[in-house]
Chain A
Amino acid sequence: MSSLTAPSPAVDPTGPMAQVSRSRRRTELIMLAFAFALVAFAFANVGYSLKGTLPAGILEYMAAYIAIVLAAHLVMRRFAPWADPLLLPLAALLNGLSIVMMYRLGAQGHPPPISASTVDTQILYTAIGIGCFVAVLIVIREPRVLQRYTYTLGAIGILLVALPALLPASISQVYGAKIQIRFGSFTIQPEEFAKLALAASFAGYLVVKRDVLALAGRRVLGIDLPRARDLGPILLAWAASLLLLIFESDIGTSAVFMGLFVAMLYIATSRTSWLLIGFSMFVIGALAASKLVGHVGERFDIWLHPFTGQNPSNNAYQLVQGLYGMASGGLLGRGLGGGQPYITPLVQSDLIFTAFGEELGLAGLMALLLIYGLIVQRGLQTAISVKDPFSKLLAGGLSFMLALQVFVIVGGVTRLIPLTGITTPFLSEGGSSLVGSWILIALLARVSDSARRPPPRPIQEEGLTQVVTLK
């Protein structure tokens, strides 16, 4: 005896209400409430520590921050209801802590490392960043749409990367690296947007070419090398990132670009040889560049011998002060407003992580690293679960790039690797990085929405379902 039963287990009999709960937007809201509470608490803490009262304007600041983030939440309810519920709260928490730190850094020091109005600017950038986040979710309804613009995005990306190198130093140079475009007092770091465009472009290119690239060429030392003619794109990426290194003296961004491209090649082809080739080419390039560009060689010396000779008071001053700050923080930190992060040069941008280390201690830094780790994990999880190969590559590439960026800057300020000046996603002062990071989160949210969206309900009439018994 057998039976043909119709109602599929995937169809929820309780109707639309259950679907809302599965979309997990309510989870997102609850998580956001936690993020808001943490940020408000941190804000109050800074005020009490510095002045003994609530910070002036805390209500306005918090209201603005909460309103902006809630707007993003509402847009997600409407335009990406199935998106991962943790992405927005985690990013919003980091962004909120950055606002608090900007307030804190602007309020103390001789003179403070940043002006007191930086907190206003940071909130404005948050608004712009979330504005872009919202725009991406509204405009790009399906991640696959981007695949159509593979070459356009690639051209835009390369143009954005090359622009500062082509412009005169007076417009583009900052702290020895040519990475920005200045309009009066306003600056943009185009690389923050270039890497997003290039990630999307790589994804589009690789989806089409991955089968060809996976073809084996010769076998050397047990590794299947790709065919020589397929080396073209990786050579192009290599040359681009080396040019970046030499003309813009920006080893950090160059490493992030190279890492992004190699990781995406590997995801697309599953071929270890690409990984090895890419990595060894980057190492060769970096070593050559360190001989050619003084700025790069100096970074290695600072990394290896920060406490030797004149280094602590000269070249390695920034790194060493950051380490002192972290040491003074210890396990639990000196409390927000209780440390002296203002001693460290550029603490508001490259060294922001050490400011958190000083005031929130090891506990705070581990929490921050876990927040980053969680965002990356959600992104990779999305990449694994999404079916469309382009989305898979895009989500995997973006997640890995975020992880790599955190690794390069956090590893740099903690002397795990040589310190290179790139921004800490969401935390550093500055609009380009913040806006770029929000767009990245928007893209991940978009992919995760399509990954988690339930398949269309089969069209069927329950009334017509019959049970047929076969004898």
Chain B
Amino acid sequence: MNRALRRISIAVLVMFVLLLVNVNYIQGFDTASLASQPGNSRAFYAAQNQYQRGSIVTSDGVTIAASKPSGGNDVIKYTRYYPKGVAYAPVTGYDTIYSETGIEKAQNSLLSGNDSALTVRKLIDLVTGKTTKGATVQVTINSKAQAAAYDALKALGKPGAAVALNPKTGAILAMASYPSFDPNVLAIHDGAKLNQVDKQLLADKAQPLLNRALEGTYPPGSTFKIVTSAGLLTQSPNTSVNTNVDSPTTLTLPQTQHVLHNDQGEVCGNGTGQAPLITAFAQSCDTTFAKIGMQLGAPVLSDMAQKFGMNNANLTVPLPVAKSNYVIPPSQALTAFSAIGQFSDTVTPLQLAMFSAAIANGGTLMKPYLVQQVTASDLSTVQTTSPSTLSQPVSPSVADSVGQMMHAVVQQPEGTAYAFRQDVTGVDIAGKTGTAETGQVSLNDAAFTGFAPFANPDIAVGVIIQGGGYGASAAAPIAVQVIKAYEQAVGHQ
């Protein structure tokens, strides 16, 4: 029997060797492939919770996201919290135990402390015995402008978004979306409860998780006349803001029976059928710009729209920005519509702000950005964003002309936004209203883009309100409040 026992022993040895080889394979060779499996939450946890996550602060030093020790028996050592949750949700995004959005996602490796840029500092922490923390991300947001934007949107109570830029640098000063959500409700560590909250938010018809400022696209309406004017002034250098242009009361579109009216059948200029460009712009005559659009042709409009930042699917701030579209229309009649911001034109509120920013900055469009600076836990700077040019849509002189026209919109009695002239608001604002027709006046999307102060602009704004009605009545007041709050904050008022 001993011979059989020895053979059994060999079989047992083989079994144990197989087990040993197999665990060596799994834990020695297969770890990377298993860690990269999509459902592997352990790998995610490991990366997320190694260090205390860094804070997110505004440019004026307000903390909008931070981590504190969880306490108790919690398996996750730190809990994320958002002191001004709802207003800043489009900026911070959220950080759950499963995933992130917003800055939390875009700057995740720095915030979590796993970025290779932090390796040397972590080594120093290890040697000096300090606890390593994630890096602090300072965003370009101005807390006063952000609060004004969100409060105004919330007071109006309609879905919409407001974005403010520094036209000289591209820094995003405010980025608010309404309705929003409180990221604190997603910072919980109970997976089942989190799934439930997440499901509720996703099912909410008001779409609170949607960051309309960057991800929502809406018809720009008459604000697109900035692009059409820029095209005209660039194409025909002899045209000035005072040049008379065709401004009929009605315009029958070619190869159609469709007659284009101005809003509520309004007469453009003095009724002669001719009006100075600046007047047509201030009054926002659809017939004038439809005609100009047809003269210029869709390729010119498309080219100009693209230079202003549209048709770009790859813009990141570093949060990804939805593509604003100018689609070349198949007919002249539709080209006429596209020139006044209808047909298939769509813009994000950020894109709307970029129209004004380019004009305010002498025709040079700066690349919008949200992250000012990243500092390690030892307060040394890890990275700083330096402003960069995105494009040069128009020459300084054309920018100057368009700027004058936008000034007239707000400061001249015939302008659509005369209600917000300097006498009333105390700020010298230039801008353009937009009302994208959706068939019913009360359901029209309201848009406003503008910049201030006119003489030396330091803020450019884009506001879109879904179903807001007229741009001048729904969107412009919000833009004005953001501008006033910012001017007050920087001491210009």
Chain A residues near B (Cβ < 8 Å): 50, 107-110, 263, 266-270, 307, 312-313, 320, 323-331, 334, 339-340, 342-343, 357-358, 361-362, 365-366, 369, 372-373, 376-377, 380, 383-384, 389, 392-393, 396, 399-400, 403-404, 406-407, 410-411, 414-416
Contacts and interface: CB of A to CB of B under 8 A. Distances in A.
Nearest to B14: A407
A362 B28 contact: yes
10 contacts: A108-B75, A110-B75, A267-B5, A327-B27, A328-B31, A328-B35, A342-B75, A361-B27, A372-B16, A416-B19
A383 B5 contact: yes
Interface stretch (B36-44, B88-96, B411-419, B450-458): B36-44
Contacts of A403: 12, 15-16
Which of B12, B28, B73: most chain A Cβ within 10 A?
B12
A377 B192 CA distance: 46
A366 B23 contact: yes
B34 interface: yes
Contacts of A325: 42
Given A326-B27, A328-B35, A369-B23, A270 B4 contact: yes
B98 interface: no
Contacts of A107: 73
A408 to B, nearest CB: 10
B8 A327 contact: no
Contacts of B73: 50, 107-108
Which 3 pairs, one residue from A and one from B, show the smallest C-beta to C-beta distance?
A327-B34, A362-B27, A328-B42
Interface residues of B, number: 40
Contacts of A404: 15
Nearest to B30: A327
A327 B19 contact: no
Contacts of A343: 41-42
Question: From DSSP, what is the main secondary structure of chain B's interface residues?
Answer: helix
A403 B15 CA distance: 8
B22 interface: yes
A365 B23 contact: yes
B190 A357 contact: no
B18 interface: yes
Given A380-B12, A383-B5, A362 B24 contact: yes
A229 B12 CA distance: 30
Contact of B37 (A270, A312, A357, A414): A312
Contacts of A389: 1
B254 interface: no
A376 B13 CA distance: 10
B273 to A, nearest CB: 68
Contacts of B30: 327
Contacts of A340: 42, 45, 75
Contacts, number: 142
A270 B19 contact: no
B42 A324 contact: yes
A300 to B, nearest CB: 18
Given A312-B39, A324-B42, A357 B23 contact: yes
A407 B17 CA distance: 10
Interface of B: 1-9, 12, 15-16, 18-20, 22-24, 26-28, 30-31, 34-35, 37-43, 45-46, 73, 75, 189-192
Given A400-B12, A403-B12, A329 B27 contact: yes
A380 B8 contact: yes
A298 B290 CA distance: 67
A266 B8 CA distance: 9
B20 A369 contact: yes
B191 A266 contact: no
A127 to B, nearest CB: 28
Nearest to A414: B22
Contacts of B4: 266-270
Q: Could you say which of A327, A366, A399 has the most chain B C-beta atoms within 10 Å of its C-beta?
A: A327
A327 B35 contact: yes
Contacts of B16: 369, 372-373, 376, 403, 406-407
B13 to A, nearest CB: 8
Contacts of B46: 328, 334
Q: Which residue, of B22, B46, B189, has the highest number of chain A Cβ atoms within 10 A?
A: B22
A362 B23 CA distance: 7
B75 A411 contact: no
B31 to A, nearest CB: 4
B287 to A, nearest CB: 59
Given A269-B4, A270-B1, A369-B20, 10 more contacts: A110-B75, A110-B190, A267-B8, A324-B43, A343-B41, A362-B27, A373-B16, A376-B12, A392-B5, A396-B8
Contacts of B27: 326-327, 329-331, 357, 361-362, 365
A357 to B, nearest CB: 6
A340 B49 CA distance: 12
Contact of B5 (A369, A380, A407, A410): A380
A263 to B, nearest CB: 6
A366 B20 contact: yes
A329 B35 CA distance: 11
A110 B189 contact: yes
Contacts of A108: 73, 75
A326 B26 contact: yes
Most buried by A among B15, B23, B28: B23
A400 B8 contact: yes
Given A340-B45, A369-B20, A327 B1 contact: no
A405 B434 CA distance: 76
A385 to B, nearest CB: 9
Contact of B18 (A307, A329, A416): A416
Given A329-B27, A400-B12, A320 B2 contact: no
Given A312-B39, A384-B5, A323 B12 contact: no
B75 A407 contact: no
Contact of A331 (B8, B19, B28): B28
B178 to A, nearest CB: 33
Contacts of B190: 110
Contacts of B26: 323, 326-327, 357, 414-415
Contacts of A331: 27-28
B28 A324 contact: no
Given A343-B41, A369-B19, A380 B1 contact: no
Contact of A110 (B8, B22, B28, B191): B191
A414 B31 CA distance: 13
A331 B26 CA distance: 10
Nearest to B21: A416
A324 B34 contact: yes
Contacts of B28: 330-331, 362
Nearest to A110: B190
